[in-house]
Amino acid sequence: MRAATERLYPAPGLAWRQIQSKIERITVPLLILIGWEAFSRSGYLPPALLPPPSAVLAALADWMFAIDGSTQDYAGTWIRHVLASSSRVAAGFGIAALIGVIIGTGIGWSRFIEKTVEPTLQMLRPIPPVSWIPLAIIWFGIADKPAIFLVFLGSFFPILMNTIHGVKTIDRNLIRAGAMMGASERQLLWNVVVPAALPSIFAGLRIGVGSAWMLTVTAEMVAVKSGVGYVLWDTYYFLRYDMVIASMVSIGLLGYLSDIAIKLLMNRVLRWQRASTIQSREG
Amino acid sequence: MAEIVISNIVKSFTDRQRNADILAVDNVSLTINDHDFVCLLGPSGCGKSTLLNMIAGFDKPTSGRIEVGGVVVQKPGADRGVVFQQPTLMPWLNVADNVAFHLKLSGIRKAERRARAQEFIDLVGLKGFEAHFPSELSGGMNQRVGIARALLMNPRVILMDEPFAALDAQTKIEMQEELVQIWQRIRCTIVFVTHSVDEALLLGNRIAVMSRRPGRIRDYFDFDMPRPRDVTSPEFNEAKRRVLGLIRDESRMSRQAA
């Protein structure tokens, strides 16, 4: 409705206001980049220790497209490493999402499951996933598996906790309404409880995907021989700080993109919420 | 023919924080006939909603029993449609899917669900809003969806817990009139909980007046004033005076007791 009115009566200077808001957004990052470039070129630090953004960009471009071979063995390998890391994130995060939602729904719904299962999980939860690295390596060796295991550990708990919270805070009357319409317990879970908990579940997924990238990179530094985290650590040994920073940038970009992917999925699945969110009021 | 038989219902809750038992409903017996429109009238906290929840099967009585259509109530079921005080729609389903939720649970195909829901969407005057989500509709419109959803199940009885309490005065009058028309058309049995004397007398053909907590039935009488009822007529005022008198006696007694 609102979009239609806007089209009928375009506000004066709308295009200019959009440009203005874009300028507001990019001013600070641009200033940081310029300052960094200037500082690196000033010679205050040896350029090798803090490469300017232009050098990072050049390294990244060569790593991606093998332009001038300046990244040597790594030239043109970016996509391979990105895919290696992404597949670990996807596997670990996917398993965590599946198991986290199932167990979380169980704990939130049933007193019995809560009593029997939750204490164990709560005792495991404070152990930082990174501290599992030695065991992960001796159990799974040096390959994809320990990384997937760590990613799973890192994203499982946020998904689990948010699912439990979502299920426990459901409006009781929704369950009553479902039962009134003849839902069996299984139908209630599938048709009422899980959909009602979805906003919380998605909050957990978004936190979870963040930890997933953190742990992939950590695992790749120690226990795997491919992936963006591996490149970061390996180039550090060769004093290629432009590549280190290019890896950091790549990880940031991937994390950002996966968050956007989940957000897009969330907006689709939770489109029923649209009318009641603050964002839509801001238009 | 008796449709709902409530015999010697006692309900007490345990207040865990104070470690005390609270008697909410005290030995209530009530017989509701087929096609009755019974209004359960009582002050807030008198246990009328608790009684309704027990008929619905959401709560279990501490003692006594409730039969609907000759079957003892054990749990909620689609033979008793409930319209809640808040619309209590599934916020992730649009109007048509909310109305047809019962059919979805019964495994009926989507095309047929749509067709059967449409009849009731039209009945409550929501044609054109089938694809809207509850968050996009007003409280009154959502409550209409709640009524359509209960009607679609074709239940033996419809239980309504102050369904119009949260609506503005104008919408409320509109909805009350429509509810009477719907009841006249489909001749279901309705149990309607309210704290408003006017609403009870406008809607019901039998009125059960409940006392303050612990809830007991003070009076249960027929009210056969012809419809549509004029709330300013002498006949209506006569009935209102009588009910208000009952309530006044009641509060005088409780003051003396206190």
3 state SS of A187: helix
Task: Give the best residue of B105, B106, B129, B138 to mutate against chain A (max A CB count within 10 A).
Answer: B105
Is A55 a member of any domain?
A: no
Q: What is the CATH number of the domain that holds A96?
A: 1.10.3720.10
Res. B1: pLDDT tops 70: no
> Given CB atoms, is A177 within the 8 Å cutoff of chain B?
yes
Q: Could you tell me whether strands B71-72 and B20-33 are parallel, antiparallel, or unpaired per DSSP bridges?
A: unpaired
Amino acid at the residue B181: Q
- Mutate one of B92, B132, B162 to test the A interface: name it (highest A CB count within 10 A): B92
Inform me whether the C-beta atom of residue B166 falls under 8 Å from chain A C-beta atoms. no
Same-domain check for residues A247 and A137:
yes
Query: For strand B63-68 and strand B2-15, is the pairing parallel, antiparallel, or unpaired?
Result: antiparallel
Q: Which residues of A228-238 are buried (b: 16+ CB within 10 A; e: fewer)?
A: bbbbbbbbeee
- Cα B192 to its chain centre, rounded Å, is 3
Question: Torsion angle, CA of A83/A88/A93/A96, rounded to 10 degrees?
Answer: 160
**Residue A259 and residue A206 in contact, taking contact as beta carbons nearer than 8 Å:** yes
The pLDDT of residue B258 is 57
CB contact under 8 Å between B133 and A174, yes or no, is no
Q: How many domains does chain A have?
A: 2
Instruction: For CATH 3.40.50.300, list the domain ranges present in chain B.
Output: 2-79+155-257
Report pLDDT digits (tens) over B27-47. 999 999 999 999 999 888 888
Whole-angstrom distance, CA of residue A65 vs CA of residue A57? 12
Q: What is the mean predicted confidence (pLDDT) over B203-212?
A: 92
Is any Cβ of chain B less than 8 angstroms from the Cβ of A183?
yes
Task: Note the pLDDT of residue B248.
Answer: 81
Name residue B103's amino acid: L
Q: Is the separation of the CB atoms in B131 and B137 below 8 Å?
A: no
- A:B CB pairs within 8 Å: 72
Tell whether A53 is covered by a domain.
no
Residue A62 domain-assigned (yes or no): no
Reading the block at residue A107, the tokens are 């704990």
Note whether A146 and A254 are same-domain residues: yes
pLDDT of residue B22: 87
Backbone angles phi, psi at B45, to 5 degrees: 80, 15
Q: Are residues A169 and A246 in the same domain?
A: yes
ipTM surpassing 0.95, yes or no? no
**pLDDT range class, residue B142, cuts 50, 70, 90:** very high
pLDDT at residue B69 is higher than 50: yes
Strand B37-41 vs strand B189-194: parallel, antiparallel, or unpaired? parallel
Nearest CB to A173: which of B57, B75, B88? B88
Q: What per-residue confidence (pLDDT) applies to A273?
A: 83
Structural contact between residues B223 and B240, judged by C-beta atoms closer than 8 angstroms: no
Question: Which of A101-105, B148-152, B212-216 is predicted with the least confidence, judged by mean pLDDT?
Answer: B212-216
Q: Check if A279 contacts B (Cβ < 8 Å).
A: no
Angle at B18 between CA B14 and CA B23, to 5 degrees: 35
Hey, are the CB atoms on B105 and A181 less than 8 Å from each other?
yes
Q: Which domain holds residue A13?
A: 1-44
Q: Verify that A205 and A96 share a domain, yes or no.
A: yes
Query: CB B112: neighbour CB atoms within 10 A?
Result: 11
CA angle B196–B197–B200, rounded 5-degree value: 85
Cα separation, A5 vs A10, whole angstroms: 8
Q: pLDDT tens-digit profile of B155-189?
A: 889 999 999 988 899 989 999 999 999 999 888 89
Any CB–CB contact under 8 A between A180 and chain B? Answer: yes
Do the domain assignments include residue A56?
A: no
Q: Which residue from A minimizes the CA distance to B157? A: A180
Rounded to an integer, what distance in angstroms lies between the CA atom of residue A251 and that of residue A233? 13
Domain annotation covers residue A52: no
CATH superfamily of B2-79+155-257: P-loop containing nucleotide triphosphate hydrolases (3.40.50.300)
SS3 call for B159: strand
| B49 close to B24: Cβ distance less than 8 angstroms | no
Q: Does A185 touch chain B (CB under 8 A)?
A: no
- pLDDT below 50 — which residues of chain A? 1-5, 277-283
What are the strands, taking DSSP E only, across B122-186?
A: 157-161
The confidence score (pLDDT) of residue A236 equals: 93
Other CB atoms within a 10 A radius of the CB of residue B30 amount to 20
Reported as a pLDDT band with limits 50, 70 and 90, residue B247 is: confident
CA distance A17 to chain B (A): 29
- Nearest CB partner across the interface for B133, out of A178, A191, A272: A272
What average pLDDT does this structure show over B5-24? 88
Q: Distance between CA B51 and CA B211 in Å, rounded?
A: 13
DSSP letters, B173-205, are: HHHHHHHHHHHHHH--EEEEEES-HHHHHHH-S
